[in-house]
């Protein structure tokens, strides 16, 4: 009986791995450099012109005490001023659809993106946002041979797994940092937003990284870099990709589904 139970567990594990191979064919473990080379062109720099309230002294003191905050903060209402915000996004659909954090583009008057290795800014359309979930979908005219990053599964992520963050910290576009998944399922309250399913990572995340991908060594997005503890080093947070996918289905509800052309990729 014991041997039968062992065989059953092995069978379930084998089936799960086979299902993952069918879902993500050809995605074997890569080196960090391979991950960067394959997906750096899918990551974009985001620049936002917006109007927002002046920060109060109370919110500043909360920041000094080390409350983990995303790039956007909650402010006491005061006269508004023009500011420029920066962030990161990534192509998840070859038709030009980009994922990022809602707080990166919150109250935006204009949103621009910059592709890899290009100086020109391109205006982006805000397709739909979710303030509660801190997610947004943007749309641009895609570059030729638009590279996308596949959305993986966060329910199979393990603490200790190596991850790569690609983003635009402090405007330094397409910077790469590496770390591990430090913990899973971190629930955190930031201002009036509740994040129930955050991955914790020690990959360096700074201002401008928000909205960028956290990628495993199989080249799958497992989270969206979102927040960092201001009072310590090596404590960053990413929205788990299963949560991202759930919200994206709603954000893309009015967009026709991507149809693959029959026979695409076959040799003639």
* Residues marked as catalytic: 103, 134, 210
Q: Up-side HSE of residue 148: CA atoms within 13 Å toward CB?
A: 13
Residue recorded with tokens 């030009």:
96
- CB neighbours of 261 closer than 8 A, spacing ≥ 6? none
Shortest CA distance to 211 belongs to which of 108, 138, 121, 124?
138
- DSSP for 32-61, written as a single string: HHHHHHHHGGGEEEEEEEEEEEPPPHHHHH
d(Cα 123, Cα 96) in Å, to the nearest integer?
Answer: 12
Helix (H) or strand (E) holding 8: helix 2-23
Residue recorded with tokens 């050809």:
26
**257, 249 in Cβ contact below 8 A?**
no
């Amino acid at each position: 009986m014991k041997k039968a139970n062992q065989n059953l567990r092995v069978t379930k594990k084998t089936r799960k791995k086979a299902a993952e191979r069918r879902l993500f064919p050809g995605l074997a473990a890569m080196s960090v450099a391979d991950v960067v080379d394959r997906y750096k062109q899918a990551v974009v720099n985001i620049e936002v012109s917006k109007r927002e309230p002046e920060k109060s002294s109370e919110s500043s003191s909360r920041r000094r005490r080390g409350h983990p905050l995303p790039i956007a903060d909650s402010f006491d209402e005061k006269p508004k001023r023009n500011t420029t915000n920066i962030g990161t996004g990534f192509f998840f659909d070859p038709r030009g659809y980009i994922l990022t954090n809602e707080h990166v583009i919150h109250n935006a008057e204009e949103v621009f993106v910059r592709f890899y290795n290009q100086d020109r800014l391109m205006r982006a359309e805000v397709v739909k946002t979710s303030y509660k979930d801190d997610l947004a979908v943007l749309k641009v005219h895609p570059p030729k041979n638009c590279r996308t990053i596949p959305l993986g599964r966060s329910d199979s992520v393990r603490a200790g797994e190596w991850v790569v963050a690609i983003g635009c910290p402090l405007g330094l576009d397409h910077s790469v940092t590496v770390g591990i998944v430090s913990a899973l399922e971190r629930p955190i309250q930031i201002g009036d937003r509740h994040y129930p399913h955050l991955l914790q990572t020690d990959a360096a995340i700074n201002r401008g990284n928000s909205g960028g991908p956290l990628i495993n060594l199989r080249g799958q997005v497992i989270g969206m870099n979102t927040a960092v503890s201001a009072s310590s080093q090596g404590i960053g947070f990413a929205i788990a990709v299963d949560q991202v996918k759930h919200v994206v289905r709603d954000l893309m509800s009015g967009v026709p589904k991507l149809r693959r052309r029959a026979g695409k990729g076959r040799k003639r």
